[in-house]
Structure 1
Amino acid sequence: MEQMKQVLDGSLLWRAITAMCLWFGRQWQNSGVIQWFLHPAGWGKAASENSVFFKLWSLVRRALCRLYELLRLDKLFAGSVFTQTWVWCAIPVVLAPALCKFRPSLMVMGLALIGYASLLLNLVRDRKRELAWAPINRYIILYAAVYLAGTLFSVNLRGSLQPGLLSVVFILFSVVLYNAITGRKQLDTLVALMVLVAALVSFYGILQYLFGWGYQSAAWVDSDMFSSISFRVPSTLDNPNMLGQYLILAIPLGGAKLLSAKSWGSRAYYFCCCGVMCVCMILTFSRGAWLGLLFAGAVFVVLLNPRFILLAPFALVALYFVLPDTVISRFTSIGNLGDNSTSYRVYIWMGVLAMLKDYWLCGIGPGDAAFNMVYPAYSYNAIVAPHSHNLFLQILCDAGVVALAVFLLLLFVYFRMMCVSLSREKDWTSRLLQIAFTAGVCGFLVQAMTDYSFYNYRVMFLFWAYLALGAASARRSQLPKGRLLV
C-alpha cells in the first residue's frame, strides 16, 4: 500500500488531478451555499420547545406524573427491568430482520410498544428527565401526524386502518429509540448486534441458495431473458428485493465497524460479516439493490476521503473482470424495457401517475385494500399490482402531496444534520458511524426509486430506527461512555 502511494505521488498526472480536485474542493467548501448548509440557524432545543407538539406533550406528561404520584407507584417500579428503556428498544431493532414466522410485523410492533411503555415510565417517574432533542424529531412527528390523517381519510378505512396505524407506530419509534440511547456504549453495542444479525440473515440466505430452500416466485425473474438465474435469495425477508433493501442499510454499518476495529481479531470478524453480507447481496439478483449499494459505497468512500473518487473508474473496471457473467448481464439490463420486470414497473408508474392526477391532494390511504380499490380503473395493459413500486409515488398515494413534502423535508434535515456533524467531528469512530448512516440512507433511497421499500413493514421499521441511530451517531462524541444498563 505504501509502495503504491509512493508511485502515485511520483506521477505528474496524479499530482495534477489531485491539485485540481483540492482547488475545486476549497471553492466548494467556501461557497455561500455550503456555508449556509453547514451552519443552520434556528437549530436548538429552544426552537423545539416552542412547537405545538412539545406543548401538547408537556400537558400530557404533567397529568401522567400527577397520576403516577397519586397511585404511589414508586415502590412498584423501583429497580424494575421495565425501566431499562435501551434494552426494550434494542430488542425489536435487533430481532426485526430475523423474525419470519407468525405475523412478524405484529410481533415487532408488540416489542416496539414495550419500548414506548418503558420510555413513558421513565419520563413519568423522573420529572427532571427531558426528551432528547434532535433536528429531525419534529419532522418525524409531523410526518406521522400527516400519515395518520391520510389513514383516517382513506377510501377504504377498514382496509387502511391496520397498515396505517402500524406505520405510525414504526415511524414514531424512531423518537423513542433516540431517547433510549443515553450512552456511547449503548449505541456501539446496538450497531454491533445489528451487524451480527445481518450477517446471520445473510448466511441463511446463502444456505438457501446452496440447498434451494424457500419460496420462489415466477414473477421475480424473466426466465426468457435470464435463463441462468434459477434462484433468488429472499432469506428471512420473504422477498429478494426487500432483502436487498435491508442489506443496503446493514453493509455500511459493517464497513464502519471494520474500519474502526482496534484488534486483528475484530477486523477479521467484521471482514467476514461484510463478506457474507456482500455475497448474499449478489445472490438476491436485485438490480435496484445492487445500484443502491454501489451508490452507498460511493457516498461512503467520498465522505471518508474525497480523493478516493478518482479511483472509482478503476474499481468499476475491476468489478467487470471479477463478477460472474450472470451478475454482469443482470446489472447491464437495467433500463431494458424488453425485461418483463422493467416494463411491468413502467406500466405501473404510468397507471399510478394517471391515478394521482385525481388523488394527489390527500391520497387514497395506505394498504393494499385502498390501492386495489382505485388503481385498477387507471391501470395500463390490465397490469395488477399491490403498490406503485416506487417509495415516493406510494407516499403520494397513501397520504397525498403534503406527506411527500414533509418526507422530503425530513430527509433534507437528516442529511444536513449528518453533514454538519461530519464537518465538526474529530473522533474517528463517531465519524465512521456518521458516514455509514449517511451512506446507507442514500443507497436505500436509490433502491426506493424502483420499489416500494416500506411494503415489508420490518424494513420500514428498520429504516426509521436507522434514522434514529444516525441522529444518535451525530451526537456520539457528546454522549458519556456509560453502561449498557442504567
Structure 2
Amino acid sequence: MNSVWQQLTLVNLPLRQWSESSYLHHIIGWLRTWRQGSWLMRWADYLAAGLVAIVFGLAPFVSTGVVGVLLLACAGFWLLLTLTDEGEIGTGITPLHLLVLLYWGVATVATAVSPVRSAALEGWIKLTLYLLFFALMARVLRSSRFRSTLILVYLVAAAIVSVVGLRQWFFGASALATWVDPESSLAGTTRVYSFLGNPNLLAAYLLPATIFSAAAFFAWRNWLPKLLALTLWVVNSACLVLTFSRGGWIGYVAGSFVLLMLLVHWLTVRFPRFWRIWTLPIVLGVTALLVAVAVITVEPLRERVASIFVGREDSSNNFRINVWMAVIEMIKDRPWLGIGPGNDAFNRIYPRYQQPGYTALSAYSVVLEIAVETGLIGVACFLWLLLVAFSQAWQRIQQLRKLGSREGFWLMAAVANMVGMLAHGLVDTVWYRPQVSTLWWLTIALIASYYSLVPLSQTPTEAYSANKSELSAQ
C-alpha cells in the first residue's frame, strides 16, 4: 500500500536519469557557449528575479494587457535561460514540473479538438504563458534570498491596494456593479474594490497576502520586521473582510485555519508533553469561539454569512446555481476533453446552454471550469497535481521542522494559500484573472522550489546532512 502511495505521489521518481535519457538533454544548454561569453547573462538570475518582481509589483495597478506583455517577457527569458543553462541536466526538474507539463498537454489536445478552435487557441496561449511563468518562478525561488524578496514585493503591492480599499470604506466608493442583493438589508453597504474594480477579485488577490504576512511574522528575524509583518496582516485582513466577498471569507477562514494548524504542528515539537497534546484542541476551541462571536455580534457579517445558507433566496446564489446547471450540461456533451481552454471558448459555447437572463463569462467554480475546458481528463490531471503538491510540501515541512529552518514558514504559507484559493475557487473563478492566477502559480512554484533530490531511501542521518548542506548553499 505504501509503495502504491509513493508511486502515485512520485516520491522516488528518478528525474535525473529520466532527464539524461530524454530529448530535453539535447536542448538544455544548447547555447551554453554563447552565455559564457555574454556579460549580461552573468546577471541572469538577478534579471529573472527582477522580471518576476515587476509582474507582482505592477499586476494590480495596470491593465491585463500589460500583465500579458510582462508574462511574455518572462516566458522568453525562461526560454533563453533554458537554452543557455550551465547547470547539471535535470537538477531543476521536479515532479510538479512534469504534472504541469502533462496538464498543458491535455489542454493542447483539448484545443486541437475544440469545436471553437480559434477561440480556444487564445486561451491556450494565455495558459502557456502562465505555465512558463511558473517554470521561471520555480527556478528563481530556489534562492532563499530571492524567495523572501519576491514575497516582500507582493506584500508591499498588496499593502498599497489594501490602504486604498480601506480609504474607500471610510470615505465611500460608488459601486461599479450590483454586488449585493438589492432586496437585502446590506444593499447600501460599501464593498471595497480598490484598484481591482471588483470586490470578489480584490478578496482573491489579498487572500495570499494575509497568509504570507502571517508567515512573515515567524520567518523574518528581529522585532521591527515582525512588527511590519503584523501590520501588513492587519491591513490586508481588514480590507479582505470589507470586500464582503463570501467566497473570499471562505478562502480566508480555510487558509488561515490550515496555516494555524501547521504552525501549531511546527512550534509544539519542543513543548512539554502536556502542551503537545492539548495545544491543538485549545487553539481550535479559541479560534472557533472568536469566529462565532464575530458572526453573532457584527450584524453585516452575520447577515452576509447567513446568505450563504439560504440557497436560491439570495440572488447571487440563485445566479450561480443556474450557471452551474448550464455548465454541467456542457460537460455532459463533451465529457473527456471539454471545449478548450479560455473564457473566449466558454463565451462561444455557453449561450447555447444558458437559461434566459443568466449570462455568464465563466463557470463560477474552478472545478467546473477545468472540467468544461479540458474535460474529466483535465480534472484528473489537476487533482493529481494537487495531490503531489500537498504530499511533497508535507514531506519537506517535516524535513525543515527537524532542521529548525525558518524557510519552512514560507512553505507552510504556500500550502495554506493553496487551500484558501481552492476553497474560494469552489464558488468563483476570479483566479483566472492574471492578478490572481499569477499568485496561484507562485504558490505551486514555491512548493516546487523546495523539492529535494535526496532520495527517501537514505538513512535519516544521510538525509539530514544532505538537506543541511542544501539549505546552507541557498
* Other-structure match for 1:107: 69
How many Å separate the matches in 2 of 1:329 and 1:477? 51
Query: Alpha-carbon deviation of 1:263?
Result: 1.8
Query: Alpha-carbon deviation of 1:430?
Result: 2.2
The one-letter code matched in structure 2 to 1:273 is: L
Q: Using a 3 Å threshold, how does the CA distance of structure 1 residues 411 and 102 change in structure 2: closer, same or farther?
A: closer
* Other-structure match for 2:303: 329
* Other-structure match for 2:290: 318
* Other-structure match for 1:25: none
* Aligned residue runs from structure 1 range 394-473, under 5 A: 394-425=369-400, 426=402, 427-473=404-450
How many Å separate the matches in 1 of 2:13 and 2:388? 15
* Other-structure match for 1:177: 137
* Other-structure match for 1:284: 243
Q: Which moved more, 1:141-150 or 1:375-384?
A: 375-384
Query: Alpha-carbon deviation of 1:205?
Result: 1.8
Percent identical residues:
22
* Equivalent in 262, 267, 272 of residue 231 of structure 2: 272
Query: Alpha-carbon deviation of 1:392?
Result: 0.9
On the 8 A contact 2:19/2:25 being kept in 1, the answer is no
Q: Using a 3 Å threshold, how does the CA distance of structure 1 residues 79 and 354 change in structure 2: closer, same or farther?
A: closer
On the 8 A contact 1:228/1:326 being kept in 2, the answer is no
Structure 2 SS opposite 1:436: helix
* Equivalent in 368, 374, 377 of residue 393 of structure 1: 368
Confirm whether residue 232 of structure 1 aligns to residue 194 of structure 2.
no
Structure 2 SS opposite 1:251: helix
Q: Which moved more, 1:327-336 or 1:269-278?
A: 327-336
Query: Alpha-carbon deviation of 1:132?
Result: 1.2
The one-letter code matched in structure 2 to 1:188 is: S
On the 8 A contact 1:203/1:276 being kept in 2, the answer is yes
* Equivalent in 208, 224, 235 of residue 249 of structure 1: 208
Query: Alpha-carbon deviation of 1:40?
Result: 8.0
Structure 1 SS opposite 2:251: helix
Confirm whether residue 353 of structure 1 aligns to residue 312 of structure 2.
no
Confirm whether residue 46 of structure 1 aligns to residue 14 of structure 2.
yes
The one-letter code matched in structure 1 to 2:118 is: R
**Normalised by the size of structure 2, how large is the TM-score?**
0.84
* Aligned residue runs from structure 1 range 302-313, under 5 A: 302-305=261-264, 307-313=279-285
The one-letter code matched in structure 2 to 1:360 is: P
Q: Using a 3 Å threshold, how does the CA distance of structure 1 residues 308 and 214 change in structure 2: closer, same or farther?
A: farther
How many Å separate the matches in 2 of 1:278 and 1:179? 30
Q: Which moved more, 1:355-364 or 1:74-83?
A: 74-83
* Other-structure match for 2:269: none
The one-letter code matched in structure 2 to 1:227 is: L
Q: Which moved more, 1:374-383 or 1:394-403?
A: 374-383
On the 8 A contact 1:320/1:328 being kept in 2, the answer is no
* Aligned residue runs from structure 1 range 91-106, under 5 A: 91-95=53-57, 97-101=59-63, 103-106=65-68
Q: Using a 3 Å threshold, how does the CA distance of structure 1 residues 127 and 327 change in structure 2: closer, same or farther?
A: closer
Query: Alpha-carbon deviation of 1:244?
Result: 1.5
Q: Which moved more, 1:345-354 or 1:127-136?
A: 127-136
Q: Using a 3 Å threshold, how does the CA distance of structure 1 residues 327 and 205 change in structure 2: closer, same or farther?
A: same
**Normalised by the size of structure 1, how large is the TM-score?**
0.82
Query: Alpha-carbon deviation of 1:391?
Result: 0.4
Structure 2 SS opposite 1:361: coil
Query: Alpha-carbon deviation of 1:118?
Result: 4.8
* Other-structure match for 2:313: 338
The one-letter code matched in structure 1 to 2:305 is: F
* Other-structure match for 1:119: 81
- Structure 2: segments with no counterpart, 5+ residues: 266-278, 453-466
Q: Using a 3 Å threshold, how does the CA distance of structure 1 residues 182 and 361 change in structure 2: closer, same or farther?
A: closer
For these two proteins, the number of residue pairs brought into alignment is 442
How many Å separate the matches in 1 of 2:365 and 2:12? 34
Query: Alpha-carbon deviation of 1:144?
Result: 1.5
Query: Alpha-carbon deviation of 1:397?
Result: 1.2
Structure 2 SS opposite 1:284: coil
The one-letter code matched in structure 2 to 1:326 is: P
